[in-house]
Structure 1
Amino acid sequence: MSANPDGRRTDPSLRPTSISVLVVAGLAAAAVGWLVLSFTYTRLPQLPWTPALVLAVLAVAEAMLAQNTSARIQRKPGALPVQPLAVARYVALAKASSLVGAIFAGFSAGLLGWLLLEPTRAAREDVPATTGGLVAGLALIGAALWLERACRVPEQPDRQDDDTDRPSGRL
Protein backbone atom coordinates (compact mmCIF):
# COMPACT_ATOMS: atom_id res chain seq x y z
CA MET A 1 0.00 0.00 0.00
CA SER A 2 1.08 3.56 -0.57
CA ALA A 3 0.16 6.77 1.18
CA ASN A 4 -1.34 9.89 -0.36
CA PRO A 5 0.15 13.31 0.48
CA ASP A 6 -2.58 13.74 3.09
CA GLY A 7 -1.51 10.49 4.81
CA ARG A 8 -4.39 8.24 3.69
CA ARG A 9 -3.48 4.78 2.44
CA THR A 10 -4.53 3.67 -1.00
CA ASP A 11 -4.58 0.23 -2.50
CA PRO A 12 -2.78 -0.27 -5.79
CA SER A 13 -5.17 -0.80 -8.64
CA LEU A 14 -5.12 -1.64 -12.29
CA ARG A 15 -7.63 0.28 -14.33
CA PRO A 16 -9.29 -0.99 -17.51
CA THR A 17 -7.81 0.20 -20.78
CA SER A 18 -9.14 3.62 -21.70
CA ILE A 19 -10.76 3.81 -25.12
CA SER A 20 -9.71 7.45 -25.36
CA VAL A 21 -6.04 6.46 -25.01
CA LEU A 22 -6.46 3.96 -27.85
CA VAL A 23 -8.18 6.56 -30.04
CA VAL A 24 -5.48 9.18 -29.41
CA ALA A 25 -2.72 6.64 -30.11
CA GLY A 26 -4.48 5.59 -33.32
CA LEU A 27 -4.94 9.15 -34.51
CA ALA A 28 -1.33 10.05 -33.78
CA ALA A 29 -0.15 6.93 -35.63
CA ALA A 30 -2.43 7.78 -38.57
CA ALA A 31 -0.85 11.23 -38.84
CA VAL A 32 2.64 9.72 -38.69
CA GLY A 33 1.72 7.11 -41.31
CA TRP A 34 0.36 9.76 -43.65
CA LEU A 35 3.45 11.95 -43.26
CA VAL A 36 5.95 9.11 -43.62
CA LEU A 37 4.27 7.81 -46.75
CA SER A 38 3.91 11.24 -48.33
CA PHE A 39 7.66 11.85 -48.06
CA THR A 40 9.04 8.36 -48.76
CA TYR A 41 6.54 6.42 -50.90
CA THR A 42 8.52 6.58 -54.13
CA ARG A 43 11.55 4.99 -52.42
CA LEU A 44 9.65 2.19 -50.66
CA PRO A 45 9.19 -1.38 -51.92
CA GLN A 46 5.70 -2.84 -52.14
CA LEU A 47 4.04 -2.95 -48.74
CA PRO A 48 4.17 -6.48 -47.25
CA TRP A 49 1.37 -8.64 -45.85
CA THR A 50 3.56 -10.03 -43.04
CA PRO A 51 2.66 -7.49 -40.30
CA ALA A 52 -1.05 -7.93 -40.97
CA LEU A 53 -0.74 -11.71 -40.78
CA VAL A 54 1.21 -11.57 -37.52
CA LEU A 55 -1.38 -9.30 -35.92
CA ALA A 56 -4.23 -11.46 -37.22
CA VAL A 57 -2.67 -14.59 -35.69
CA LEU A 58 -2.15 -12.74 -32.41
CA ALA A 59 -5.77 -11.57 -32.47
CA VAL A 60 -7.04 -15.12 -32.97
CA ALA A 61 -4.78 -16.42 -30.18
CA GLU A 62 -5.94 -13.72 -27.77
CA ALA A 63 -9.59 -14.33 -28.64
CA MET A 64 -9.16 -18.04 -27.90
CA LEU A 65 -7.34 -17.19 -24.66
CA ALA A 66 -10.15 -14.80 -23.70
CA GLN A 67 -12.79 -17.46 -24.23
CA ASN A 68 -10.82 -20.03 -22.23
CA THR A 69 -9.94 -17.62 -19.43
CA SER A 70 -13.51 -16.41 -19.08
CA ALA A 71 -14.76 -19.98 -18.63
CA ARG A 72 -12.04 -20.73 -16.11
CA ILE A 73 -12.59 -17.58 -14.03
CA GLN A 74 -16.34 -18.13 -13.99
CA ARG A 75 -15.66 -21.73 -12.94
CA LYS A 76 -17.85 -23.26 -15.58
CA PRO A 77 -18.22 -27.05 -15.38
CA GLY A 78 -15.23 -28.85 -16.85
CA ALA A 79 -13.00 -25.78 -16.79
CA LEU A 80 -9.82 -25.98 -14.75
CA PRO A 81 -9.11 -23.21 -12.25
CA VAL A 82 -6.78 -20.47 -13.40
CA GLN A 83 -3.70 -19.27 -11.53
CA PRO A 84 -3.88 -15.63 -10.37
CA LEU A 85 -0.39 -14.88 -11.70
CA ALA A 86 -1.43 -16.17 -15.13
CA VAL A 87 -4.42 -13.82 -15.10
CA ALA A 88 -2.15 -10.89 -14.25
CA ARG A 89 0.06 -11.81 -17.20
CA TYR A 90 -2.97 -12.08 -19.49
CA VAL A 91 -4.08 -8.59 -18.44
CA ALA A 92 -0.61 -7.20 -19.17
CA LEU A 93 -0.66 -8.91 -22.57
CA ALA A 94 -4.15 -7.55 -23.28
CA LYS A 95 -3.26 -3.97 -22.32
CA ALA A 96 -0.09 -4.01 -24.43
CA SER A 97 -1.82 -5.67 -27.38
CA SER A 98 -4.69 -3.19 -27.43
CA LEU A 99 -2.21 -0.31 -27.60
CA VAL A 100 -0.16 -2.04 -30.33
CA GLY A 101 -3.35 -2.77 -32.25
CA ALA A 102 -4.47 0.87 -31.97
CA ILE A 103 -1.11 2.16 -33.17
CA PHE A 104 -0.95 -0.31 -36.05
CA ALA A 105 -4.58 0.29 -37.07
CA GLY A 106 -4.03 4.06 -36.95
CA PHE A 107 -0.81 3.83 -38.94
CA SER A 108 -2.55 1.61 -41.51
CA ALA A 109 -5.49 4.03 -41.70
CA GLY A 110 -3.09 6.89 -42.40
CA LEU A 111 -1.37 4.85 -45.10
CA LEU A 112 -4.68 3.80 -46.59
CA GLY A 113 -5.96 7.37 -46.69
CA TRP A 114 -2.84 8.50 -48.51
CA LEU A 115 -2.87 5.53 -50.90
CA LEU A 116 -6.52 6.08 -51.86
CA LEU A 117 -5.72 9.65 -52.88
CA GLU A 118 -2.60 8.67 -54.86
CA PRO A 119 -3.51 7.96 -58.53
CA THR A 120 -0.61 5.59 -59.29
CA ARG A 121 -0.73 1.88 -60.05
CA ALA A 122 1.76 1.12 -57.26
CA ALA A 123 -0.53 2.81 -54.73
CA ARG A 124 -3.52 0.75 -55.92
CA GLU A 125 -1.44 -2.43 -55.51
CA ASP A 126 -0.60 -1.51 -51.90
CA VAL A 127 -4.23 -0.93 -50.88
CA PRO A 128 -5.10 -4.61 -50.14
CA ALA A 129 -2.13 -5.17 -47.79
CA THR A 130 -2.81 -1.88 -46.04
CA THR A 131 -6.50 -2.71 -45.67
CA GLY A 132 -5.51 -6.09 -44.25
CA GLY A 133 -3.27 -4.31 -41.75
CA LEU A 134 -6.11 -2.03 -40.70
CA VAL A 135 -8.51 -4.96 -40.24
CA ALA A 136 -5.89 -7.00 -38.34
CA GLY A 137 -5.14 -4.06 -36.05
CA LEU A 138 -8.83 -3.58 -35.29
CA ALA A 139 -9.23 -7.32 -34.68
CA LEU A 140 -6.30 -7.24 -32.26
CA ILE A 141 -7.87 -4.34 -30.36
CA GLY A 142 -11.15 -6.24 -30.09
CA ALA A 143 -9.50 -9.48 -28.96
CA ALA A 144 -7.28 -7.68 -26.46
CA LEU A 145 -10.19 -5.80 -24.90
CA TRP A 146 -12.14 -9.07 -24.73
CA LEU A 147 -9.21 -10.78 -23.00
CA GLU A 148 -8.90 -7.91 -20.54
CA ARG A 149 -12.61 -8.14 -19.76
CA ALA A 150 -12.41 -11.92 -19.43
CA CYS A 151 -9.78 -11.50 -16.70
CA ARG A 152 -12.11 -9.57 -14.42
CA VAL A 153 -13.24 -11.33 -11.29
CA PRO A 154 -17.00 -11.84 -11.43
CA GLU A 155 -18.98 -9.90 -8.87
CA GLN A 156 -20.12 -11.98 -5.94
CA PRO A 157 -23.64 -11.49 -4.62
CA ASP A 158 -23.77 -9.68 -1.30
CA ARG A 159 -24.11 -12.13 1.54
CA GLN A 160 -25.79 -10.98 4.68
CA ASP A 161 -24.32 -12.58 7.75
CA ASP A 162 -26.64 -13.70 10.46
CA ASP A 163 -25.88 -15.33 13.77
CA THR A 164 -26.97 -18.80 12.63
CA ASP A 165 -24.07 -19.04 10.15
CA ARG A 166 -21.38 -18.47 12.76
CA PRO A 167 -19.94 -21.30 14.77
CA SER A 168 -20.48 -20.90 18.47
CA GLY A 169 -17.69 -19.25 20.42
CA ARG A 170 -16.43 -17.15 17.47
CA LEU A 171 -17.24 -13.57 16.71
Structure 2
Amino acid sequence: MGLTRKRDLTLAVVVTGLLGYLLVRAVYRYFPPLTLWTGVSLLGLAAVIGGWGFLVRARIRDGEIGVGGGRLHPLAVARSVVIAKASAWMGSVVLGWWLAVVVYLLPRRSELRVAAEDTPGAVVAALCALALIVAGLWLQHCCRSPDDPAEDADPAPN
Protein backbone atom coordinates (compact mmCIF):
# COMPACT_ATOMS: atom_id res chain seq x y z
CA MET A 1 0.00 0.00 0.00
CA GLY A 2 1.50 3.30 -1.05
CA LEU A 3 1.18 6.78 0.35
CA THR A 4 -1.91 8.79 -0.44
CA ARG A 5 -0.96 11.28 -3.12
CA LYS A 6 -2.08 14.85 -2.64
CA ARG A 7 -2.85 15.21 -6.35
CA ASP A 8 -5.31 12.30 -6.11
CA LEU A 9 -7.03 13.94 -3.15
CA THR A 10 -7.14 17.23 -5.05
CA LEU A 11 -8.72 15.47 -8.03
CA ALA A 12 -11.35 13.99 -5.71
CA VAL A 13 -12.11 17.47 -4.35
CA VAL A 14 -12.46 18.93 -7.85
CA VAL A 15 -14.61 16.12 -9.29
CA THR A 16 -16.86 16.04 -6.23
CA GLY A 17 -17.08 19.82 -6.30
CA LEU A 18 -18.17 19.92 -9.94
CA LEU A 19 -20.75 17.16 -9.54
CA GLY A 20 -21.87 18.60 -6.21
CA TYR A 21 -22.39 22.04 -7.73
CA LEU A 22 -24.72 20.60 -10.34
CA LEU A 23 -26.64 18.77 -7.62
CA VAL A 24 -26.82 21.84 -5.36
CA ARG A 25 -28.21 23.91 -8.23
CA ALA A 26 -31.00 21.41 -8.65
CA VAL A 27 -31.94 20.75 -5.02
CA TYR A 28 -30.82 23.71 -2.89
CA ARG A 29 -34.40 24.78 -2.23
CA TYR A 30 -34.95 21.52 -0.32
CA PHE A 31 -31.89 21.90 1.95
CA PRO A 32 -32.41 22.23 5.67
CA PRO A 33 -30.84 25.30 7.29
CA LEU A 34 -27.04 25.13 7.51
CA THR A 35 -25.82 26.25 10.92
CA LEU A 36 -22.31 26.77 12.20
CA TRP A 37 -22.59 23.33 13.83
CA THR A 38 -23.31 21.53 10.56
CA GLY A 39 -19.78 20.27 9.91
CA VAL A 40 -18.27 20.40 13.38
CA SER A 41 -18.49 16.62 13.78
CA LEU A 42 -15.77 16.42 11.14
CA LEU A 43 -13.58 18.62 13.33
CA GLY A 44 -14.08 16.28 16.28
CA LEU A 45 -13.11 13.33 14.11
CA ALA A 46 -10.07 15.24 12.82
CA ALA A 47 -8.99 15.97 16.40
CA VAL A 48 -9.25 12.30 17.36
CA ILE A 49 -7.30 11.18 14.29
CA GLY A 50 -4.67 13.86 14.83
CA GLY A 51 -4.26 12.79 18.45
CA TRP A 52 -4.02 9.19 17.33
CA GLY A 53 -1.20 10.26 15.01
CA PHE A 54 0.75 11.79 17.89
CA LEU A 55 0.31 8.59 19.92
CA VAL A 56 1.45 6.33 17.08
CA ARG A 57 4.37 8.62 16.26
CA ALA A 58 5.57 8.67 19.87
CA ARG A 59 5.39 4.90 20.18
CA ILE A 60 7.19 4.29 16.90
CA ARG A 61 9.86 6.88 17.74
CA ASP A 62 10.43 5.34 21.17
CA GLY A 63 10.79 1.91 19.61
CA GLU A 64 7.68 0.59 21.33
CA ILE A 65 6.54 -1.44 18.39
CA GLY A 66 6.21 -5.17 18.61
CA VAL A 67 4.22 -7.73 20.52
CA GLY A 68 4.19 -7.22 24.25
CA GLY A 69 2.61 -5.33 27.10
CA GLY A 70 1.99 -1.68 26.30
CA ARG A 71 3.56 -1.93 22.87
CA LEU A 72 1.96 -1.03 19.57
CA HIS A 73 1.31 -4.13 17.51
CA PRO A 74 2.40 -3.92 13.85
CA LEU A 75 -1.15 -4.75 12.78
CA ALA A 76 -2.38 -1.76 14.78
CA VAL A 77 -0.05 0.41 12.71
CA ALA A 78 -1.36 -1.15 9.49
CA ARG A 79 -4.93 -0.54 10.60
CA SER A 80 -4.00 3.03 11.48
CA VAL A 81 -2.74 3.54 7.94
CA VAL A 82 -6.06 2.28 6.57
CA ILE A 83 -7.95 4.69 8.86
CA ALA A 84 -5.61 7.50 7.80
CA LYS A 85 -6.18 6.87 4.10
CA ALA A 86 -9.93 6.55 4.57
CA SER A 87 -10.03 9.80 6.53
CA ALA A 88 -8.07 11.70 3.91
CA TRP A 89 -10.25 10.38 1.09
CA MET A 90 -13.50 11.00 2.94
CA GLY A 91 -12.36 14.49 3.87
CA SER A 92 -11.59 15.17 0.20
CA VAL A 93 -15.04 14.10 -0.96
CA VAL A 94 -16.77 16.07 1.79
CA LEU A 95 -14.57 19.12 1.12
CA GLY A 96 -15.55 18.99 -2.55
CA TRP A 97 -19.21 18.91 -1.58
CA TRP A 98 -18.98 21.84 0.84
CA LEU A 99 -16.93 23.89 -1.60
CA ALA A 100 -19.67 23.31 -4.18
CA VAL A 101 -22.23 24.56 -1.68
CA VAL A 102 -20.09 27.62 -0.85
CA VAL A 103 -19.54 28.43 -4.53
CA TYR A 104 -23.28 28.20 -5.09
CA LEU A 105 -24.14 30.36 -2.08
CA LEU A 106 -21.60 33.19 -2.39
CA PRO A 107 -23.02 34.90 -5.50
CA ARG A 108 -26.58 34.49 -4.22
CA ARG A 109 -26.05 36.05 -0.79
CA SER A 110 -27.42 39.44 -1.84
CA GLU A 111 -30.56 38.10 -3.50
CA LEU A 112 -31.44 35.18 -1.19
CA ARG A 113 -31.63 35.78 2.55
CA VAL A 114 -31.36 32.05 3.23
CA ALA A 115 -28.15 31.88 1.16
CA ALA A 116 -26.61 34.58 3.33
CA GLU A 117 -27.64 32.67 6.46
CA ASP A 118 -26.32 29.34 5.16
CA THR A 119 -22.92 30.59 3.95
CA PRO A 120 -21.11 30.66 7.34
CA GLY A 121 -22.23 27.10 8.12
CA ALA A 122 -21.03 25.84 4.73
CA VAL A 123 -17.67 27.59 5.14
CA VAL A 124 -17.17 26.10 8.61
CA ALA A 125 -18.09 22.65 7.29
CA ALA A 126 -15.58 23.01 4.45
CA LEU A 127 -12.84 24.04 6.90
CA CYS A 128 -13.66 21.06 9.12
CA ALA A 129 -13.44 18.73 6.10
CA LEU A 130 -10.04 20.24 5.30
CA ALA A 131 -8.99 19.54 8.89
CA LEU A 132 -10.02 15.90 8.40
CA ILE A 133 -7.81 15.64 5.31
CA VAL A 134 -4.85 17.13 7.17
CA ALA A 135 -5.40 14.81 10.15
CA GLY A 136 -5.59 11.77 7.87
CA LEU A 137 -2.37 12.72 6.10
CA TRP A 138 -0.74 13.40 9.47
CA LEU A 139 -1.72 9.98 10.83
CA GLN A 140 -0.43 8.35 7.66
CA HIS A 141 2.86 10.22 8.06
CA CYS A 142 3.12 9.18 11.70
CA CYS A 143 2.73 5.50 10.81
CA ARG A 144 5.95 5.49 8.84
CA SER A 145 8.88 3.58 10.23
CA PRO A 146 11.98 5.69 10.95
CA ASP A 147 13.89 3.70 8.29
CA ASP A 148 11.25 4.19 5.55
CA PRO A 149 12.52 5.89 2.39
CA ALA A 150 11.67 9.53 1.86
CA GLU A 151 8.01 10.31 1.07
CA ASP A 152 8.89 12.26 -2.04
CA ALA A 153 10.66 9.40 -3.71
CA ASP A 154 8.23 7.57 -5.99
CA PRO A 155 9.17 4.02 -6.91
CA ALA A 156 10.79 3.75 -10.31
CA PRO A 157 8.37 2.65 -13.04
CA ASN A 158 9.02 -0.79 -14.47
Category of TM-score, reference length = shorter chain: 0.7 to 0.9
Task: For 2:47 and 2:113, locate their aligned partners in 1 and report how far apart those are by CA, in whole Å.
Answer: 33
- Specify the alignment match of 1:60 in structure 2: 47
In 2, Cα distance between the equivalents of 1:24 and 1:17? 12
CA distance in 1, matches of 2:34, 2:20: 13
CA contact (8 A) 1:94 1:145 kept: yes
The share of aligned pairs that are identical, in percent, is: 32
TM-score by length of 2: 0.83
In 1, Cα distance between equivalents of 2:72 and 2:39: 31
* 1:107 aligned to which of 74, 80, 97: 97
Is the Cα–Cα contact under 8 Å of residues 53 and 142 in structure 2 kept in the other structure? yes
- 1:139 is aligned to 131
Alignment of 1:82 with 2:72, yes or no, is yes
Superposition pairs of residues 18-57 of structure 1, within 5 angstroms: 18-49=5-36, 51-57=38-44
Q: CA deviation at 1:45?
A: 2.0
Measure, in 2, the Cα distance between the counterparts of 1:76 and 1:63: 20
Pairing partner for 1:116 from 106, 109, 118: 106
RMSD: 1.7
SS in 2 for 1:154: coil
Maintained 8 Å contact 2:35/2:120: no
What letter matches 1:31 in structure 2?
A: L
- Give, as a single letter, the amino acid of the residue that structure 2 aligns with 1:102: S
Q: Judge which range, 34-43 or 99-108, deviates more.
A: 34-43
1:135-155 CA deviation, whole Å, 9 max, x = no partner?
001100101000000000101
Could you list the structure 1 runs, at least 4 aligned residues long, displaced by more than 6 angstroms after superposition. none
> 2:143, 2:38 → 1: CA distance?
27
Structure 1 stretches lacking a partner, 5+ long: 1-13, 157-171
Unaligned 5+ residue runs, structure 2?
A: 65-69, 149-158
Q: Structure 1-normalised TM-score? A: 0.77
**Separation in structure 2 between the aligned mates of residue 120 and residue 41 of structure 1, nearest angstrom:** 12
Structure 1 equivalent of residue 151 of structure 2: none
Kindly indicate whether the alpha-carbon contact (under 8 Å) linking 1:73 and 1:81 is maintained by their aligned counterparts in 2: no
The residue matched to 1:59 in structure 2 has which SS? helix
Structure showing greater radius of gyration is 1
Q: Any idea what SS the aligned residue of 1:138 has?
A: helix
